[in-house]
Amino acid sequence: MQALTDRVKPVDRRPLNFVEKLYIPAILKGMGITFKHIFKKKATVNYPEETRPFSPVFRGLHILNRDEEGRERCTACGLCAVACPAEAITMEAAERKPGEEKLYREEKYAASYEINMLRCIFCGFCEEACPKDAIYLTETFAPSNYDRKGFIYGKDDLLIPDPKKK
């Protein structure tokens, strides 16, 4: 039978000699490998004190953006929910009422917007699909939680604070 790759190694099936039966060369070889690893740099990062450098294309928590006047950019078009392969985004649209022009940019806005972080695969398709640049992925981690409801982020958790109020 022909091998599929060139990585095949022949197995040595000859009987062991006296020195090999003592297993001393194998033990010394293993101890040498262990001794070499003692002086190598540790791969562990002491997290609270040290932070690991991330790639510039790292995708973390989602944020709903506002425009320069503090109005919500999201128009509840649903493209982000359609583009999400994990179906982690749900939203409900509502019509803007008279007098709410300072809150929302368009006539339609997202009355409720939820992202289930347990389903999210952080692919960034929602960010690419949004025509208004309303959603983007930041460089922060999703914090840990003890219950499943803590991983479902609503609109008030995702919206950045109003720049005019702060």
3 is in an annotated binding site: no
Give the helix ranges, DSSP H, for the chain: 18-21, 24-38, 79-83, 125-129, 155-158
Residue 148, marked binder = no
The answer to whether 75 and 105 have CB atoms below 8 angstroms apart is yes
Q: Is 50 annotated as a binding residue?
A: no
Q: What is the DSSP letter of 70?
A: S
Is 123 labelled as part of a ligand binding site? yes
What does the alpha-carbon distance between residue 161 and residue 145 come to, in Å, rounded to a whole number?
23
31 is in an annotated binding site: no
54 annotated as a binding-site residue: no
Name the token pair of 77.
């078009």
Is residue 65 part of an annotated ligand binding site? Answer: no
Strands 152-153 vs 135-137: parallel, antiparallel or unpaired: unpaired
Q: Are 24 and 119 in contact (CB under 8 A)?
A: no
Q: Which residues are annotated as a binding site for [4Fe-4S] cluster?
A: 74, 77, 80, 84, 120, 123, 126, 130
Q: Which residues are annotated as a binding site?
A: 74, 77, 80, 84, 120, 123, 126, 130
